[in-house]
Structure 1
Amino acid sequence: MGTTRVTIVGGGILGLSLAHHLSSTGFAVTLLEKEPTWAAHQTGHNSGVIHAGPYYKPGSLKARMCLAGNRSMTAFAREHGIPYETVGKLIVATSESEIPRLDALAERATANGVTCRLISMEEAREYEPHLGGLKVLRVENTGIVDYRAVSAKFAELATANGANLVSGTRARGIRSSDQGVTVEHDLGQESSDLLINAAGLHSDTVARMAGIAPGVRIVPFRGEYYELAPQSQNLVRGLIYPVPDPEMPFLGVHLTRMIDGTVHAGPNAVLALAREGYRWSDISPRDVFGTVTFPGFLKLAAGNVRTGAQEVLRSFSKRRFARDLARLVPEITPADLVRSGAGVRAQAIGRDGKLIDDFSIHQTQNQIHILNAPSPAATSALEIARHIAQLVVSPRTR
């Protein structure tokens, strides 16, 4: 039997991790990326956190892969000289009503195998002297890294293993048969035994192009960031997060010291008007139409009108942004915030209006589609690659 040929669509951290892993284990890999650079979208616009996994449902792919990914990503950075730091994270209850949720989160984190402990405010202020709040969960193994640098190293290693990484070419058509899969793209076509869809924001589109009915739609949510002004960066030493509201789809604005020493504040979460909509002025009528006509989105929107309105108001109001951050660090004022960049999260939504909570991977005879891989996908990139490699060598239809 000859070498298995694999075509990967998508050059973010997952596609590049797959190219690295599969090429190192004997597969003939071609990767196609529509942008001229690697990690141009979700990977290149996130907060650079190596998550430890306190939030996720015990036993889920997210819970298992995040815990393992925390270790493997840290080890990878260390092995290849990529700057990283294990800074830990404080999750802060700022009201009496949040304390039971924090206690429940501590139980879930422990069930997931996360190294964490509830600490007093006195001890918490040894880590973060300017912290506000009533009670704190300390998550020890949370870290920070530059995922663009990680992605570049994956690309370098994959190329050294013989993988053919092709940027600046968009997949235009996909034909599948019992003999394999052919991807037509801007620079020609690529035939292989297996297609892996790691297209992130466009993963559902690529799945439909390949003849798969994904059953979900990717809805883009833009997360907007501020930075603390240079004179205010001393207010935060590491990572400070609020207690997540189980009724809300995202974590809420938080404070993250980046690997370059800057402190990012955010993100909020507003519907993006394009799959790559990093600003309000980035509008794709096609993307908007696809979102608002999807039954699942209408159901999601109907149940989150108030939350959505608050996120939009915060998008346009530095004062509101600062007010929410001041729940965590009371000294923060609007004068401490400087507008920074934004990222767009690819969130899969089912037809029932529910957010797909776990990683979602759909497999057929000669195709594997990663249909939902939001945070902590970057943390878990090596683990997701190993998981998919097992599907490749032990194929089964899902």
Structure 2
Amino acid sequence: MADETVGVVGAGIVGLATAREIALSRPGTRVVVFEKEPEVSRHQTGHNSGVVHAGIYYTPGSLKADLCVRGVALLREYCQDRRLPYQEIGKLVVAVREDELGRMENLYQRARNNHVPELRRISREEIRELEPHAGGIAALHSPRTAITDYPAVARAFARDVVASGGEVRLGFPVTSIATVAGGIEVGSGQDRVRVDRLILCAGLQSDSVARLAQDRPEPRIIPFRGEYMLLRPDRTDLVRGLIYPVPDPRYPFLGVHFTPRVDGSVEVGPNAVLALAREGYRRSRISPRDLLGLAAYPGAWKMAAQHWRTGVKEYRGSFFASAFMKDAGQYVPEVGVRDVVRGGAGVRAQALDRDGTLVDDFRIPWARFGRITAVRNAPSPAATASMAIAEHITAVVFEDA
């Protein structure tokens, strides 16, 4: 018999990394992962662009900064040990206008404070040496930024959990969470599983699952769909590494960029449009329940009042490829509408506070109540940082043990 059983809700990369960390670092503890889908990594992890972020963007001292930098080292070692894809193809963060140079310099200083390795400022001429088809007047070059296959990593984490005596219960949508004598009862329809501790890593459903456990209602999850174009196969040679814009500091999104994938394809995107369903990977997917929940939340209206102009611009790019590619063409001028086809899409679980603020930093964990711990905001770079996040959650959960 196990000394203790720990439940983890959610078989995305954060939930699986956490389950794995507990199983390996707490001998005698049995871990059970609860996942509503028939396979792991179906949502944010399975629609991830595959970028291993180096830590350029994040506020020094924030959880994002600290856990991203630690997570890169852990992930690199894990991928090498398991022979999973891990390619350091490098990244350029490109300024195309003079008014972006100040923001680029701020990024450089932030990245230095975060100990991003080998980052340097480069000139227009040096950009062309690295990316002969790129535009821009100056850039930051991060040669250690990498790409990987996050669904493959998540599947490896799941195998580690099972090999350590744990269980990944697929097709188990959590519909109830109740505190009972000496533990917690996790329900799915008529099924009941008792655990001693429970960790909520439910991604797009994190606020809904937290409410089952009587957690506070905020922050609320607002789904943003990120849509991609794909370079045609005969045009992928125009891009060697990752090419990113200088991001707008008002938003937690990084803007439309060029992303080579480990399969040899090159994505262009994503945009960021409000999805009409939490799992709305297509424009046609509409959930009345999700829309009603959005309309009833004051923070959503305050966000809309602040950012509606940007929202209109993003939707225009969603419907018109020419508008989408207009921004992208600043960074690789030779790429136009005829060089791309529609690609896939992901949905980002963006936490929103009641005052309309888009939550930037991780809220990991955001709440502990009894033997339940809730993760309430884990967007990018959560995949990069997943193994470090797992260490952090495990330390918090067992600090009283």
Same fold by TM-score greater than 0.5: yes
AA in 2 matched with 1:310: K
How far apart in 2 are the matches of 1:88 and 1:111?
19
Cα contact 1:51–1:379 (8 A) shared by 2: yes
How far apart in 2 are the matches of 1:249 and 1:201?
16
1:64-96 CA-partner distances (Å, limit 9, x unpaired):
000111111111100100011011100000001
Aligned to 1:388: 393
How far apart in 1 are the matches of 2:391 and 2:7?
16
Shift in Å at residue 178 of structure 1?
A: 6.1
Shift in Å at residue 185 of structure 1?
A: 1.1
How far apart in 1 are the matches of 2:266 and 2:396?
39
2:207 counterpart (204, 209, 228): 204
Aligned to 1:303: 306
Aligned to 1:10: 10
- Secondary structure of residue in 2 paired with 1:346: strand
1:263 and 2:286 matched:
no
- Secondary structure of residue in 2 paired with 1:82: coil
- Secondary structure of residue in 2 paired with 1:66: helix
Shift in Å at residue 177 of structure 1?
A: 4.5
1:159 and 2:159 matched:
no
Structure 1 residues 178 and 124: alpha-carbon distance in aligned structure 2, compared to 1, 3 A threshold: farther
Shift in Å at residue 186 of structure 1?
A: 3.9
1:265-297 CA-partner distances (Å, limit 9, x unpaired):
000000000000011110000001111211111
1:369 and 2:374 matched:
yes
| Structure 1 segment 1-398 matched on structure 2, within 5 A | 3-25=3-25, 26=27, 27-115=29-117, 116-177=119-180, 179-186=182-189, 188-360=191-363, 361=365, 362-395=367-400
Cα contact 1:365–1:395 (8 A) shared by 2: no
How far apart in 2 are the matches of 1:348 and 1:303?
16
1:324-361 CA-partner distances (Å, limit 9, x unpaired):
11110111110011100000000110001101111102
- Secondary structure of residue in 1 paired with 2:384: coil
Cα contact 1:214–1:371 (8 A) shared by 2: no
1:216-257 CA-partner distances (Å, limit 9, x unpaired):
100000000010001110110110000001123411100000
Shift in Å at residue 4 of structure 1?
A: 2.1
- Secondary structure of residue in 2 paired with 1:280: coil
Shift in Å at residue 140 of structure 1?
A: 2.3
How far apart in 1 are the matches of 2:218 and 2:123?
46
Shift in Å at residue 187 of structure 1?
A: 6.5
Structure 1 residues 2 and 257: alpha-carbon distance in aligned structure 2, compared to 1, 3 A threshold: closer
Q: Percent identity over the alignment? A: 48
Shift in Å at residue 2 of structure 1?
A: 6.6
How far apart in 2 are the matches of 1:104 and 1:216?
29
State the number of aligned residues.
Answer: 396
Cα contact 2:87–2:147 (8 A) shared by 1: yes
How far apart in 1 are the matches of 2:138 and 2:34?
48
AA in 2 matched with 1:394: E
Q: Unaligned regions of 5+ residues in structure 1, if any?
A: none
How far apart in 1 are the matches of 2:358 and 2:183?
33
Cα contact 2:252–2:360 (8 A) shared by 1: no
Structure 1 segments, 4+ long, off by >4 Å, are none
How far apart in 2 are the matches of 1:121 and 1:147?
33
The more displaced of 99-108 and 119-128 is 119-128
Cα contact 1:7–1:190 (8 A) shared by 2: no
> CA RMSD of the aligned region, Å?
1.3
Q: TM-score, normalised by structure 2?
A: 0.97
AA in 2 matched with 1:66: C
Q: Unaligned regions of 5+ residues in structure 2, if any?
A: none
How far apart in 2 are the matches of 1:44 and 1:320?
27
How far apart in 2 are the matches of 1:153 and 1:247?
36
How far apart in 2 are the matches of 1:210 and 1:224?
33
Cα contact 1:169–1:187 (8 A) shared by 2: no
How far apart in 2 are the matches of 1:20 and 1:97?
46
- Secondary structure of residue in 1 paired with 2:184: strand
How far apart in 2 are the matches of 1:330 and 1:347?
31
Cα contact 1:238–1:257 (8 A) shared by 2: yes
1:129-159 CA-partner distances (Å, limit 9, x unpaired):
1010100001122100000100010011110
- Secondary structure of residue in 2 paired with 1:129: coil
